[in-house]
Amino acid sequence: MKHVPLFINGEFKSSEATSHIDVTNPANNEVIAHAPCATESEIEQAIASAKTAFETWKDVPVTERARLMMRYQALLKEHQKEIAETLALETGKTFDDAMGDVWRGIEVVEQAMNVPSLMMGETAENVARGIDTYSFTQPLGVCLGITPFNFPAMIPLWMFPLSIACGNTFILKPSEQDPLTPMRLAELFKEAGAPDGVLNVIHGGKEQVEPLLTHPEIKAVSFVGSVPVGQYIYRTATSHMKRAQCFAGAKNHTVIMPDANKEHVLNNLVGASVGAAGQRCMAISAAVFVGEAQEWIPELADRIAAVKPGPWDDKDSAFGPVISPQAKQRVLKLIESGKKQGATCLVDGSDFTVKGYENGNWIGPTVFSDVTDEMDIYKEEIFGPVLSIMNADSLDDALKLVNNNPYGNGTSIFTASGAAARKYQHEVTVGQVGINIPIPVPLPFFSFTGWKNSFYGDLHAYGKQAIRFYTETKTITSRWLENDIPGGPNMTISLG
């Protein structure tokens, strides 16, 4: 049995923890590793190591920090397949999906390679006679990242490379459900030449997060996960005077206008709704058909019914199992509630299994029509391969529905009308908007954000704006007059 080590001060060491969490293969629930629930003293050691490393790392030239990211990017590319295999085994994702998970993380490392220009400040000459103002960005100190199970490569890579490239040091607390992938990321980071203590990895759950979240040495907290935990992390971190960005749950709608290209809509909706077993924060879980587009619903249901889940190493598998038996029970309960509350179950995946993998957490593709905004399947984030279909009479009605929803992560519209697309992109209260693209995830040189209950924090976000999250700005206003020479400058410094 593999015991997942901690990564503290550049060393992979076994934990002295007395309790462990099973890491399983979701396709058959076999235990593949044990992750420790790190002890208080190990958490203290990780913080102390990150604090000490910060003293030297913050002064390492930005070009050298960028070169570390270049070496890291090359190693991640070289090992992409092997990382994806580990990732597929512990998440159940298909191999192609797992490759995509790693690749989206590599793209963030590429953004971190660009740190010298991203950290550049602003200058203005002669803001008053003989006075110039310029600014620098400086790192904060020790930053913390708490990540969810559903993207164990991409989401840790959203956080620590950018933070570390800015000159911070980092403690990562990955999901206890799939810690093997993040550990491989840490091994390769060390191999790329990361100095000891710049990145530390601690395992466990709530009990391990608590002391990290309240510790005075932690200056900023990045979280991605569910709404209740996101709210708790945001409240706790900010009440301890830390900077916090918390990306939370979602209920993503797509609006289908009758003038849309039918083939394009149906092809795209299959993968966007049940792909990755619906365990994507950007999955489409509600499809709103406007007017005559409602005639396409039976055909969409037939196409989704034809999609078959299976194990990660079978090329024909369209998606894998859900992460755990508890997650499966939760989804099944919601499917049951949909039936009881009056939705029409067009495709029912609640009694689904895969031959040879009967113990796995399988749920087949599931489609409900006639869903209303009062049903639990609409109100709750399902995080399973379940699509809820709703009807609207007009674009205005569809917009009203989407904007009344408390989540605001992603949305999309399918239409041939520029005017309808323009109206939707302008009026919708959601962070990422796709036009004839179902899952509109921007590349890291843009910002990734969320509105309403999908994000708690200020305007800082991953991608481009992450640099602002992980740094402070220092503005310097200086006056150098001819007759000061050769005397010293008359300089004022204000922290902002």
- Binding residues for ligand NAD, rule: CB under 6 A, are 146-151, 173, 175-176, 205-206, 209, 224-226, 229, 232, 247-250, 281, 381, 383, 409, 450, 454
Say if strands 131-139 and 471-479 run parallel, antiparallel, or are unpaired.
antiparallel
Q: Cβ of residue 147: shortest distance to ligand NAD, in angstroms? A: 6
Identify which of residues 313 and 458 has a Cβ nearer to ligand NAD in the complex: 458
Task: Give the separation between CA 175 and CA 248, rounded to whole angstroms.
Answer: 14
Q: Which two tokens stand for residue 195?
A: 């100095």
Give the H or E element holding residue 138: strand 131-139
Q: Cβ of residue 364: shortest distance to ligand NAD, in angstroms? A: 21
Task: Give the separation between CA 243 and CA 488, rounded to whole angstroms.
Answer: 37
Identify which of residues 115 and 248 has a Cβ nearer to ligand NAD in the complex: 248
Identify which of residues 72 and 407 has a Cβ nearer to ligand NAD in the complex: 407
Q: Cβ of residue 381: shortest distance to ligand NAD, in angstroms? A: 5
Q: Cβ of residue 149: shortest distance to ligand NAD, in angstroms? A: 4
Q: Cβ of residue 146: shortest distance to ligand NAD, in angstroms? A: 5
Q: Are 122 and 132 in contact (CB under 8 A)?
A: no
Identify which of residues 17 and 119 has a Cβ nearer to ligand NAD in the complex: 17
Q: What's the chain's length in residues?
A: 496
Q: Which of 37, 166, 281, 345 is catalytic?
A: 281
| Preceding omega of 486 cis (within 30 degrees of 0) | yes
Q: Are 155 and 38 in contact (CB under 8 A)?
A: no
Among 420, 380, 365, smallest CA distance to 398 is for: 420
Q: Which two tokens stand for residue 409?
A: 């992560």
Check if 281 is active-site: yes
Distance of CA 436 to the CA centre of its chain: 23
DSSP per residue over 380-407, as a string?
S---SSEEEEEEESSHHHHHHHHHHSSE
Q: Are 434 and 275 in contact (CB under 8 A)?
A: no
User: Would you name the residues annotated as active-site residues?
Assistant: 281
